[in-house]
Structure 1
Amino acid sequence: MASIVGRPKKDGSCTYQVKWRESGDWQIERFGDEPSATTFKNLVEAHGNRWPYGWVRGEGFVEEEAIPGDVPFEVWATRYIDRLTGIEERTREDYHRDLRIHFALLRHTTLQGRTSPATIGNLTQDDVTDWVRAEEAGEPDPGAEGKWVRRPADPKSIANRHGLLYCIVQAAIDTTPQLRTTNCCKGTKLPRTDDHTVEEMTFLEREEYQRIAAEIADPGARALADWLIGTGMRWGEATALRVQDLKLNADRPTASVQRAWKKAKKGAPGGAFYLGPPKTKRARRLIALSPVQVALAREQVTGRAPEDFVFRAAMGGEWRHSNFYNRKWKPAVEEAVKKGLPKRPRIHDLRHTHVAWLIGANVPLPAIQLRLGHESIQTTVDRYGHLVRALDDDITAAVEAAMTAPTAAAAGGLRRVV
């Protein structure tokens, strides 16, 4: 609560101070008459014991010069997201959720320290930096120690949301007439996205995977796990594979990735998942199969129609990630851990392990990129480049050869460069 304190002057007049605490610090504003002080006190309390929006200390309400055509940020961002083309409705829904929850933290702060709601025209680079810091810090629950009103966002999530924010602001520059001339998201220093990447991945040795596989009693579930680690396919791709996608009798047997399971928009008819295109354009690909994978696939598709799924749950339907994880994968991992397995891999770690095995066999990263269906080689390098150690001997040998001069007999006595 704010309070009013009268301060008598030598001439017999009186000034009035409005005092309140904001974020633990005392805030004070002075007035020459009590009615003005009372009005301001009520404004402070109406704003949750904060400085009223638009109020500059010692000056009162000062309006900024209006930006022609300016609109609240939420209005512009909603318009932008609604008009995006080439995205799935689930993605559009995710963008709207980010707008409601995360972009609601955006505020505009003037050089005088006055804050106001964000508009598409008033956002500055400092405002974006303040938003990144708020995302990174989260908001602790003041009424419960160790709880959060809003948890700190991880670096990758912040980077993804910042990318969306960049596009929203850029659209205001590209529109006619322009609502902005510069993009306030340029030059933002974001948290490093690679700080936890290695820790989040779990790579299995062959013997470690076999210890988990031995605990999967369901033959169909075991076959799916073997396929995932043997092909590096994403879960949604492998479980969407149809019999007609396999070429098992060709000189070079392959599996064709043409579709993947997608999470449907909330409330959409037909269930929580649907079949759609793979994650990216490059995710449409042919995956070469080894003799072991060919034999595994033949066991699964014998007697099946072309449109049937290759991998099926016990009742004959398609696999769902939650069912496989909770009923097959997690119990097998827990049992293996009880028997000494030092890791707790996720299902997606089978894909990571597949890559680690390929790198260990000196398969080049561009070939791995094509097999995994990564849109960019940079994605492959960023995620798995730290595993490329098998070429260390070749690299050091090349450096040694370059730093060593020809023999004395061939080069007239030239010596080794040191």
Structure 2
Amino acid sequence: MASIVERPKADGSITYQVRWRDGGGRTSKVETENFDNPESADQFRDLVNAHKQHWPHGWVRGQGFVEEEAIPGDQPLMDFAHRYVSRLTNVEDRTQEDYERDLRLHISRLVHTTLTGLVVPATVCNVVADDIQDWVRLQKKGIEDPERPGEWLYRKADPKSIRNRHGLLYCVFQAAIDTDPQLRTKNPCKGTDLPRMDNETEEEMCFLERAEFDRIRAEIRDPDAVDMVDWLVTSGTRWGEASALQVRDLNLHSERPTASIVRAWKKAPKGSQRAYLLGPPKTKKARRILRLSPAQVEMLRRRTAGLPVDAFVFQTSQGNAWHHANFYNRKWQPAVKAAVAKGLPKAPRIHDLRHTHVAWLIAARVPLPKIQSRLGHESISTTVDRYGHLLEGLDDELSDVVEAMLSVPLQQGLRVVREA
């Protein structure tokens, strides 16, 4: 711990010297700082102790904290962020509303801590990497209500939400770098230590064996609903893509029958008369063409016989497009509950049929790049992050292959081809 030593001077005055070992180690370098009065020495000693026996951040030896200077053109971060989001042109209205909500509820909590330890509102220019890290930590921990146990003043966020908000904030600061005149030269969001998603992803995902899927399927009495779950698990499409599939998206009579994923249901902007609207798929690479199997072709031909080109492929018995809540509450959830009551150890969501599709492809040795293309992932890293751990299930089979190779006598099992 830091201590204070009084050192008399020749003129009779006293210098109050704060002494400590850097980092607190017994053999570490001795650091000192001098003060003319005991009050200042006491404050500095407490700062050193609070910084775990290191120089306080921003303190200049012999000078103290150096005040930050205002930067020309600086402005409140939230003002700049709202202008940035309002001028986005390549996002849907609902997405823009979600961005505004994240600004209002979460990014607005970002503050800047000055070199003197003073907390001030965030501006475009004053935010540093430590401020971003503190903001991420706040979201991860949340703020509990001290007066109401179990309640939250600010509820902690899951890793995916934190990463999404951080991504938006990154874009805001990048816009400040790219603007003319330039407001920043460095993005403070670069290098942020973000919470990992792998543990949460594994807990949330549910992969079904073929027999487990069949047990749920057997509990669905509606043949139209059976066709829908069959399509979801054999195509790997998202619910919004599958329920938006139209007759004109199918090519069933060529040698290579296909289904084009070109639209999906999207949440409508607030105030709209409808809850969902048709729009493009989730990302650019989500617009894709799926090769169909003979079984899929047979099912799709049966479903689309006599339908107009703009009709939805998967419809209710009344001829309407399926809505997720309707399908989940009336078809999927009752079937899952019935299967669980009969011994099924899992309770999958509808989206888990997409995860199950991937698990079956990996078990069949389909390479991850092909799976990425089939799922419409924007990046192969997304596919690897979410499903790469399933490859570990093939380790035993791979080791068996290696063992078989080694069990063959070398003179019979290996041939060396020499170049002439």
Counterparts in 2 of 1:313 and 1:408: CA distance versus 1, 3 Å: closer
Letter in structure 2 aligned against 1:331: P
1:276 alignment counterpart: 279
Q: Distance in 1 between matches of 2:174 and 2:114?
A: 22
Matched, 1:364 2:364: no
2:172 alignment counterpart: 168
Counterparts in 2 of 1:223 and 1:127: CA distance versus 1, 3 Å: same
Q: Distance in 2 between matches of 1:408 and 1:256?
A: 52
Q: Distance in 1 between matches of 2:254 and 2:147?
A: 66
Matched, 1:343 2:346: yes
Matched, 1:98 2:84: no
Counterparts in 2 of 1:66 and 1:402: CA distance versus 1, 3 Å: farther
Q: Would the aligned equivalents of 1:259 and 1:275 in 2 still touch at CA under 8 Å?
A: yes
Counterparts in 2 of 1:63 and 1:389: CA distance versus 1, 3 Å: closer
For residue 292 of structure 1, the aligned residue among 291, 295, 306 is 295
Shift of 1:409: 11
Moved over 6 A (4+): 397-404, 408-411
Counterparts in 2 of 1:120 and 1:256: CA distance versus 1, 3 Å: same
Shift of 1:262: 0.9
1:3 alignment counterpart: none
Matched, 1:377 2:383: no
2:251 alignment counterpart: 247
Counterparts in 2 of 1:391 and 1:142: CA distance versus 1, 3 Å: closer
Q: Would the aligned equivalents of 1:239 and 1:318 in 2 still touch at CA under 8 Å?
A: yes
Per-residue displacement from partner, 1:127-186 (whole Å, max 9, x unpaired)? 111101111011212332212222211111111111111111122122222222222212
Matched, 1:80 2:84: yes
Q: Distance in 1 between matches of 2:305 and 2:112?
A: 64
1:392 alignment counterpart: 395
1:18-417 to 2 correspondences below 5 Å: 64-268=68-272, 270-389=273-392, 392=395, 396=399
Q: Distance in 2 between matches of 1:390 and 1:196?
A: 19
Q: Distance in 2 between matches of 1:161 and 1:362?
A: 36
Letter in structure 1 aligned against 2:344: L
Give the TM-score of the pair, scaled to structure 2: 0.78
Q: Distance in 2 between matches of 1:402 and 1:332?
A: 46
Q: Would the aligned equivalents of 2:144 and 2:151 in 1 still touch at CA under 8 Å?
A: yes
Shift of 1:382: 1.4
Q: Would the aligned equivalents of 1:159 and 1:193 in 2 still touch at CA under 8 Å?
A: no
Q: Would the aligned equivalents of 1:216 and 1:329 in 2 still touch at CA under 8 Å?
A: yes
Counterparts in 2 of 1:177 and 1:403: CA distance versus 1, 3 Å: farther
1:416 alignment counterpart: none
Shift of 1:349: 0.3
Q: Would the aligned equivalents of 1:211 and 1:336 in 2 still touch at CA under 8 Å?
A: yes
Q: Distance in 2 between matches of 1:314 and 1:147?
A: 45
Q: Would the aligned equivalents of 2:247 and 2:310 in 1 still touch at CA under 8 Å?
A: yes
Counterparts in 2 of 1:186 and 1:370: CA distance versus 1, 3 Å: closer
Structure 1 residues 168-177 or 340-349, which shifts more? 168-177
Q: Distance in 2 between matches of 1:171 and 1:84?
A: 11
Identity %, equivalent residues: 61
3-state SS, counterpart of residue 290 of structure 2: strand
Q: Distance in 2 between matches of 1:183 and 1:389?
A: 37
Letter in structure 1 aligned against 2:231: W
Counterparts in 2 of 1:320 and 1:409: CA distance versus 1, 3 Å: closer
Q: Distance in 1 between matches of 2:122 and 2:197?
A: 27
Q: Distance in 1 between matches of 2:180 and 2:139?
A: 32
2:22 alignment counterpart: none
Q: How many residues align?
A: 349
